[in-house]
Structures are given as C-alpha cells and as structure tokens.
Amino acid sequence: MESSGRLGKTYSYDSIESMANLIRGKINIKPVIGIICGTGLAGLGDRVEHKEVFSYEDIPDFPVSTVKGHKSKFVFGYIEGKPVMCMLGRFHFYEGYSLSELTVSIRVMSLLGVKTLFVTNASGGVNRDYKVGDMMIIKDHINMPGLAGNNPLTGPNEERFGTRFPAISNAYDHDLRRLAHEVATDLGYASFLREGVYCMVAGPSFESPAEIRFINCVGGDVVGMSTCPEVIVARHCGLRVFGLSLITNKCIMFGEETEDEANHEEVLQIGAKRNTDIQALFEKLISKMD
C-alpha cells in the first residue's frame, strides 16, 4: 500500500495484483461476473452454488466493512452455471476509507477476470412516484462527492487499468438494462420496477428535507451513500455495469409535514423483504446474458 497525501491511502498496481494473486491461489473458480451486495441484500450470496468463501481479513491491507448488514467476505461460485464472485460487505466514504480503499475490490475483481459488474444498493426514494419496496434500474447517476472533487480516479493514472479520462456517458449498460426489463416483466415485477437516476451523497447522516428538494430538482430519483465510486472505477477498468437500487424509505422533502425519520433498521427490514425478488431477477438476468 502507498500513501499519497491528501488522497489518503492508495494502492499501487503491484499491491492490487498481489491481492488478486493471493485469492487466485486459494480459489478454484474464475469469475466473469462480480456482484456487490448492498445493505440488507447479502442474501444473494446464499444462492451461489459450489461456493468458496474468502474473508477480507485474510487479504493483507484489504479493508473490512464496519456497517451493520454488511459481512466482510467474498463468495465465489456459480449462478445459473456462470462463475461469479459476490462481495458481501462494501466500503463507504463515511467509514473513513479513502476512495482508493473503497474501490480496491473492483480493481481486484478486474484482475481476477470479472467482465461484468452487478451493483446493488439500498436507497431513499426522492421521486414522489416511487414507493417503499420498489426496485429501480439505474440508468445514470449524480455523483455529489465527485462534483465536489472527490473522484476515485484523482491522482496518477494507472494505464494498465484504463485511460486517464474514461467516459461515463454509458456507465450503466443499455443492453443489460433492456434485458432486465424483459426479465422483470416475465417475473411479474412490472408494478414495482422503475428506471431512473441514482444520486450519491457522502453520508453518514441522512439528508435534510432541503437537500432532498435540491436532489429532486436536479434530477435525482433516489439517493444513497455508495455505488458511484465503484461504477466509475469499474468503467475505468473496462467492465460492463448493471445497477439496481431498492427503495427502502421515502425521503422527506422540504415543505412536507411528517414526524417520520429515516433510520437504518428500516433499511435492513425492507431489504430482507425484497431479497427473494432481487435474487430471482438476478438469477434470470444472469441466465440470459451472453
């Protein structure tokens, strides 16, 4: 690991390659699909067949998750016959990790052979038409920390991963989004499936009503505290990306009179209720992928 001043802890290519080689030497499966399981959605790992588990703690200098609802392990195996690796426990900016630390898992995935990244998250519904329990296919994002200068690609570029200036205009793969709509229709999910824009904030405090009104005005449909850095690094590494948000609470907007408050326990409860539906969607989507 290397330190780079204001950027916090950063990783060299060689250190990331060492992590990948360590895992490769212990795991027999060669994944082509990576899945990041968001808050309350770790049940996806239970559907993996012929699983092999690797703990984050067994990887020198690798972060560990500190958030309730997140485990700290990779699960390797097969879903619908395709080799996958599930990340049970992601890292967040608000945990105190640098952007390099909270995205190092994506670089490890790319060196292990992953070509497509599935990313999930629990999010708050900003769009007034969205209901708690809805699932939203992410078509684009607003990276608030990134707009304020906190981008995971800040600093020297490593050309072995990707170009200095990667395009994010098609970050969320159009073909995978289209296929997901077809699959969701087949499964009878049309009534609670949405497609929209994910907005990331740094957290860990939930957003104020005025901030929610602002996010709504600039085009955000849901808001959360993850995903954007991982997607940016995935695109930098040349991975295809499919993103799915589960709306676990309805955000309170400025001018709305209510005594309700967002809380983490509610997020976990809704995640548990929708877990089976998300698992079925992902399984069928993976089965139909090229």
* pLDDT tens for each residue of 189-246: 999 999 999 999 998 998 999 999 999 999 999 999 999 999 999 999 999 999 999 9
pLDDT at position 261 is: 58
Q: What is the pLDDT of residue 65?
A: 80
- CA 260, CA 258: separation in Å to the nearest integer? 5
Residues of the chain with pLDDT under 70: 1-6, 39-41, 68-70, 254-273
* The pLDDT value given to residue 142: 98
Tell me what pLDDT residue 252 has.
Answer: 84
Question: How much is the pLDDT for 98?
Answer: 92
Nearest-CA neighbor of 227 among 7, 66, 39, 27?
39
Which architecture does CATH list for 2-288? 3-Layer(aba) Sandwich (3.40)
Looking at residue 58, its pLDDT comes to: 94
Backbone angles phi, psi at 123, to 5 degrees: -145, 165
* Residue type for position 228: C
